[in-house]
């Protein structure tokens, strides 16, 4: 077997893992595929005979490519929070690609994916490579252009964002999480009585201008009207910490579309503020909650 065929086989053996690395960094399957393909092109331009650990070398290259893509995306103000839809995918079977992206998002955890999108590029790279793929900081450091100590600090800062800011469990927060879980379960299952049980009788839903453009009403009052609106919905919604409080994110295939800021009273949801404005979403603080 010649060297080119051997490299091709080795690359294909690593392709799935590399795509997973890139997807967690970029939050887009098509961009992840682009990053993996660029890694293959770079491998072909490299003297692979001097590479002792091809898998590690490819992970490092993909990390650098993703970092460049994230920085370019930020410079163009085209980060994932800014996109309301899905970018075109060069594939003959779009539905299959989107289904694969949906499965990847589910495997990562939608709330976690939303949080990753809010991190600075270097923070995201350091966190994903270390916490998700066990790459040592000595190898992460040159990717992000920092010392190993600084790379460790980047990952630590990202980890605090991902895990939420509360160092100790908050019993009120845990109780609120259970209410949100019950609300979402009832909504998805079309359970009217379950929704009413989770909502305060005088609950009010307020939607911003961006949400109203998507068909939401400016205000909805009363548990029955609110329950009817959410009945059979919330398939893409997940609990998350929104600005440090228990809330909900709606993220089809991991792309943040809406945030629901919640208020609680007497063990029920008493208020829902629906935020769809992308500029405001970028200013909000998200953390994964129990995914």
pLDDT at 200: 93
Of 37, 39, 14, 35, the residue nearest 26 (C-alpha): 35
User: pLDDT of 245-270, one tens digit each?
Assistant: 899 999 887 678 899 999 998 899 99
- Residues 100 and 23 placed together within one structural domain of the fold: yes
Q: Give how many domains the chain has, as a whole number.
A: 2
pLDDT band at 104 (very low <50, low <70, confident <90, very high): low
Contact 224/238 with Cβ under 8 angstroms? Answer: no
pLDDT given at position 87: 41
| Domain final residue pick, 163, 193, 227 | 163
Average pLDDT of every residue of the chain? 82
CATH at residue 33: 1.20.140
Looking at the fold, whether 32 and 157 belong to one and the same domain comes out as yes
Asked whether the beta carbons of 157 and 123 are under 8 A apart, the reply is yes
Q: Are residues 103 and 217 in the same domain?
A: no
Q: Is the pLDDT of residue 234 over 70?
A: yes
Distance separating alpha carbons of residues 73 and 56, to the nearest angstrom: 25
| Residues 150 and 267 both lie in one domain | no
> What region does 12 belong to: left with phi over 0, alpha with psi -120 to 50, or beta?
alpha
Per-residue pLDDT reduced to its tens digit, 204-228:
999 999 999 988 889 999 999 999 9
The answer to whether residues 217 and 139 belong to one domain is no
Residue ending a domain, among 142, 163, 184, is: 163
Percentage of the chain with pLDDT > 70? Answer: 81
Instruction: Give the residue numbers spanning the domain of 257.
Output: 171-288
Q: Measure CA of the first residue to CA of the last residue in the chain; give whole Å.
A: 45
- Same domain (yes/no): 143, 194: no
Question: Cβ(237)–Cβ(249) under 8 Å?
Answer: yes
pTM of the model: 0.55
- Verify that 153 and 218 share a domain, yes or no: no
Higher pLDDT, 284 or 171: 284
CA distance 170 to 127: 25
Q: 29 and 154 share a domain?
A: yes
- Look at residues 115, 141, 163 and tell me which one is the last residue of a structural domain: 163
């Amino acid at each position: 077997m010649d060297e080119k065929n051997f490299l091709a086989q080795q690359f294909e053996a690593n392709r799935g893992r590399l795509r997973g690395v890139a997807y967690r960094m970029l939050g887009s399957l098509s961009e992840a595929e682009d990053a993996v393909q660029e890694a293959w092109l770079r491998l072909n331009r490299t003297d692979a005979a001097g590479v002792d650990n091809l898998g590690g070398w490819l992970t490092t290259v993909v990390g650098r490519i993703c970092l460049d893509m994230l920085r370019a995306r930020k410079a163009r103000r085209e980060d994932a929070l800014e996109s309301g839809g899905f970018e075109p995918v060069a594939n003959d079977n779009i539905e299959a690609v989107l289904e694969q992206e949906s499965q990847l998002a589910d495997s990562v955890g939608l709330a976690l994916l939303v949080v990753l999108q809010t991190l600075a590029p270097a923070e995201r790279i350091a966190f994903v490579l270390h916490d998700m793929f066990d790459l040592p900081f000595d190898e992460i450091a040159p990717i992000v252009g920092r010392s190993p100590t600084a790379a460790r600090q980047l990952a630590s800062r990202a980890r605090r964002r991902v895990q939420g800011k509360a160092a100790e469990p908050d019993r009120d927060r845990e109780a609120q999480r259970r209410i949100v879980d019950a609300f979402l379960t009832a909504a998805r299952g079309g359970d009217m009585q379950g929704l009413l049980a989770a909502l305060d009788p005088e609950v009010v839903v307020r939607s911003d201008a961006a949400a109203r453009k998507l068909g939401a009403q400016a205000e909805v009052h009363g548990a029955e009207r609110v329950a009817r609106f959410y009945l059979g919905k919330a398939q893409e919604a997940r609990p998350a910490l929104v600005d440090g409080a228990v809330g909900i994110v709606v993220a089809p295939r991991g792309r943040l579309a809406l945030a629901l800021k919640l208020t609680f009273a007497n063990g029920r949801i008493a208020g829902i503020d629906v935020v769809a404005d992308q500029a405001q979403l970028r200013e909000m603080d998200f953390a994964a909650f129990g995914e």
